Amino acid sequence: MSGNTPTTAESEQITILLPAGRLPRAILAEVNALAARHGFAIYLTTLQNLRLLDVPRSAAVEIRERLAALGAEFKAAGRFPVPRICIGSPYCSLGRIDTKALSDTIQERFSGRAKTKAKLKIAISGCILSCSGTRTSDIGVVAARHGYDVYAGGKGGPAPKIGRRILKEGTEEEVLAAIATLIDFHDRRTTSKQRMAKLIDDPGFPFAEV
């Protein structure tokens, strides 16, 4: 799947990835101009991406090329997931960390992976309120009073599940190492898309609850 989900024979969807939920002004302006020209709708997704709806198939290649020239990247099979984040410090008085900085670090460390299976979600929150859904994501990183807590195996949907804490007050490097271990385990144990919640009770799961 390329990230373009068909809606009709004449139209499709294009999802633009927005690391740390930031929408560059140049991309915003170009999307607005293209929407005015081609008549598609613009949707802000719950995963903090920008989805273009009802894009005419005849214009899809041009739209992608014009946005890519401005640095836009698009949802595609096998891409490492862009973390969903809360606004964090310094914009929230409760935020303990700069969530964008941690998201950028995770992206720099893992975005070059050859393949990551679909349906894997990562979230970062700057405090225990977990506004970004860290406890209901496959991997959740929560800023604690000292260091970071990491949760695994959370999910939403019709049968939501709270993730299991697998690292308490870890350092940033320990967080990155835990993410790498979880992603590698997920890759070994699955042949297609799968939520971490289905794997957390696997005898080979690499972490105990803490």
Do 97 and 46 belong to one domain? Answer: no
- Which residue in the block uniquely carries the two structure tokens 């973390």? 83
> Does residue 79 sit within a domain?
no
For residue 118, the model assigns a pLDDT of 74
8 A C-beta contact, residue 124 and residue 89: no
> Does residue 33 sit within a domain?
yes
Do 106 and 184 belong to one domain? Answer: yes
Closest by CA position to 27, among listed 60, 56, 69, 59: 69
Do 27 and 118 belong to one domain? Answer: no
Q: What does the pLDDT look like over 3-57, one tens digit per residue? A: 445 567 899 999 999 999 999 999 999 999 999 999 999 999 999 999 999 999 9
Do 15 and 93 belong to one domain? Answer: no
The whole domain housing 104 covers: 84-198
Do 123 and 160 belong to one domain? Answer: yes
> Does residue 35 sit within a domain?
yes
CATH value at residue 175: 3.30.413.10
Burial bucket for residue 183 (CB in 10 Å: 0-12, 13-18, 19+): buried
Q: What does the pLDDT look like over 48-75, one tens digit per residue? A: 999 999 999 999 999 999 999 999 999 9
8 A C-beta contact, residue 135 and residue 118: no
Find the helix packing angle between 25-38 and 57-68, rounded to 10°: 160
Q: What does the pLDDT look like over 171-199, one tens digit per residue? A: 999 999 999 999 999 998 887 788 999 99
Q: Give me the phi and psi of 55, to 5 degrees please.
A: -75, 125
Do 193 and 89 belong to one domain? Answer: yes
Do 138 and 49 belong to one domain? Answer: no
Answering whether pTM is above 0.85, one says yes
Q: What is the C-alpha R_g of the chain?
A: 18
The total domain count for the chain is 2
Closest by CA position to 97, among listed 137, 142, 129: 142
Tokens of 210: 């803490």
